[in-house]
Structure 1
Amino acid sequence: MNNTIDSLKWRYACKKFDETKILSEDKIDILSEAFNLTATSFGLQPIKMLIVKNKELQKQLMTHSFNQQQLSTASHVLVLCIQDYFTLEDIDKYFDLEKEIRGTSEDIIEKYRKQLKGIFSNKSTIEKQESAINQAYIALGNLMTVCAIEKIDACPMEGFNAQKFDEVLDLKEDSLKSVLVLPVGYRADDDFMSTLKKVRKPVENTVIRK
């Protein structure tokens, strides 16, 4: 097996982190860049990531996630968020950024700009939010793979009260909604889950080749 597969086999949903081991800023920078480089629909990036290092905040978040200790024992807690409202102005900002970075002329992108605005004009707020949530899951998967390669333990979580998280983290102030959580750090020696074998179907039962 190659190193990537070995890393994925090493990965598991960490249930207890070693509170004495803190991720370096270099590791946090890698996760930040990995999030930012995640593929999104049309490249519009309607998602953001909040990195919570403050232990008091982590403990508050734990109370709104069924007291799952991963939230309080993790080195950092990554909260994946979507924009509450995605506007046509956001599309303009994307194309302005493309012009700045690539030097693309307006003549070339004008048609595509109008096309995207037309697509999003016909979407309801709920439809745009649902699309952004789907993209947050792509980012989560990307982060989990990068964590495995970097030997960073993680635990993907949906089981939390998003409304309470938004309140604790003042997300409404930034027009954001929390949708997924990923505590990260290093596994505790006494996390019994770390020694269990993975339970997976044989690959030939999950992958079809034609």
Structure 2
Amino acid sequence: MKFYKKLTLAGCLLVLFASNSHAAMEDELLALQHQWAKVNYQLADKAQEQAFEGLISDIEQYQKTYADKAEGYIWLGIIKSSFAGAKGGISALGLAKEAKSALETALSINPNALDGSAYTSLGTLYSKVPGWPLGFGDDKKAEDLLKKALTINPKGIDPNYFYGQYLYDDKQYSDAKKYLEIAHNAAPRVDRPLADQYRQHEIAQLLDKVEKKLKKKK
């Protein structure tokens, strides 16, 4: 009986430790997400570049600390792809390739992590990066990945926005409007208000472009 009680106590302590560790992991990631929103949306030029470099260093440390979790790889991919988008040009291709590798690793660990965000981010990379021989861009792969993200998170703001953006670029304006409206009506992410604020601004801008394209077709 005493042995059983000791095992029970040990089990409780393990559960408590695991719970605390998971909470710490989520808190650290949320802080990095908040920082990304500030760097991505509120900074520009040299200040943004320096901030992205610091943020990459932070997320790499996070990823190493939680190396068996997909979340760190997802955000490593998001931050590097965001930095690539901010830099632009040929010099950004190296960052894009590193982002692709991180997101593929995330998918190999847990494709459902963060509501399928690895699919969303990787699909967006494939749609934005130039194709061969300069880069790895591929519209078919992009669409397949973005659709997988939507099967996991059909009402989410990001998968619907990025698929709507893909459809707009492909001149499928009516379908783009449908997905952008879903993104516009997505439930707010209470722990990420700044990211939602700027994403909704992007959605509104793209919806305006879609409406203008649709009016021209009439």
> Hey, which of these two has a bigger chunk of helix by percent?
2
| Normalised TM-score (structure 1) | 0.22
Q: Which has the higher contact order (CA 8 A, sep 6+)?
A: 1
Greater percentage in strand: 1
TM-score normalized by the length of structure 2: 0.21
